[in-house]
Amino acid sequence: KMRPPVEVSLFNFASVCPVFAEFSFTCMVGLINALEQDGFISGFMSFYIKKGEPHLSTAYAVMMSYWEGVVHFILFLTIIHRMKSYRNLGLLWVGSSIAHQIVLIPGVVIGKYGSNIRPAFWRNIPFFLAPFWAASLLFSRPTEMPVAAEQKKSLLSRPVDLLLSLLLLGCMAFSVFRGFVVLDCPLDFCFTYIYQYEPYLKDPVGFPRVMMLVYLFYALPLLILFIYGLTTPGCSWMLDWTLFFAGAMVQTQWCHIGASLHSRTPFTYRVPADKRWPVIALNVLLAAAPALLALRCHNNPAYFMKPVPKGQTNDQKKKD
């Protein structure tokens, strides 16, 4: 029999509810900022941006604010509505929030706004730490499920998993390539790519460079582990970490694609019109592959279930 997923208790929900309330308020502030920067409203954020966080006027920050104000806010409302059954949604939010802050904070520090950091910027630190705390709560509650005959099939007998493995290999290659590009690789094809396809990677704001390095040093090892999980049965950690990773990648790619096309990005750093669709397609694929992997893992988790020792029943396990 299948055990119900282990969810966060009502006690823990009560402890995180004030955190979600604060984050929800910040989401609305972010959405107001995005709408003001794009000219839909005015007079709300100009003083704070000028005196507090001038980087919030960049194209990357605008796209980030849209993501927070829409996607994160909906996640918070759904989590609060579902009360004790929000583990999967929580993992999506944790992955998205950590990816957001891990690009934003270093990007500001090393980019063109690094010489003009105001005290208000450091209010991002609690918002950087809180998702790690939430992640520790969520990852500490593993879900136990039974084994199925699906684990006996090889990768070649699972065409969906084979296709996902190939997609992940493509994501790995693209992540390594763009990591080399932002590290000023002298090879001709790196030079051609950054000047003719994605000049946004050399935007002095710093966000795209930090993002590519995060992909190279953090996303790449996770992609390798996911391919291992698709070829090795019983990797139950795939169910949690694919959600976490999907949230992170979709959030970062949304910001990256939007910022590389946004009018607030200087024209010389925007994706050239004649190369727009190939670049968008590659970046969308980089976001879609982890999302499809997470969807596959949760729609048919049999392959990732931990095996139960022969002769040991659920009743015997409870006694132990």
10-residue averages of pLDDT along the chain (320 residues): 46 60 86 94 90 93 95 88 78 93 93 89 90 87 58 79 95 96 92 95 94 96 96 90 96 96 94 94 96 93 73 49
Q: Domain range for residue 254?
A: 6-299
Q: Exposed e or buried b for every residue in 273-288, given b needs 16+ CB within 10 A?
A: eeeeeebeebbeebbb
CA dist., res. 240 & res. 76, Å (int): 19
The predicted pLDDT at position 165 comes to 95
Q: Give domain status of residue 87, yes or no.
A: yes
Global pTM value? 0.85
Q: Give domain status of residue 244, yes or no.
A: yes
The predicted pLDDT at position 158 comes to 84
The predicted pLDDT at position 11 comes to 42
On whether the CB atoms of residues 58 and 259 are closer than 8 A, the answer is yes
Q: Give domain status of residue 228, yes or no.
A: yes
Q: Give domain status of residue 308, yes or no.
A: no
Angle 136-164-3 (CA atoms, 0-180°, nearest 5)? 45
In the chain, the amino acid numbered 73 is: F
Q: Give domain status of residue 317, yes or no.
A: no
On whether the CB atoms of residues 265 and 200 are closer than 8 A, the answer is yes
Q: Give domain status of residue 89, yes or no.
A: yes
- Please give the tally of structural domains in the chain: 1
Q: Give domain status of residue 24, yes or no.
A: yes
Q: What is the C-alpha radius of gyration for the chain, rounded to an integer number of angstroms?
A: 21
Q: Give domain status of residue 126, yes or no.
A: yes
Burial class (CB in 10 A: 0-12, 13-18, 19+), 253: buried
The predicted pLDDT at position 87 comes to 82
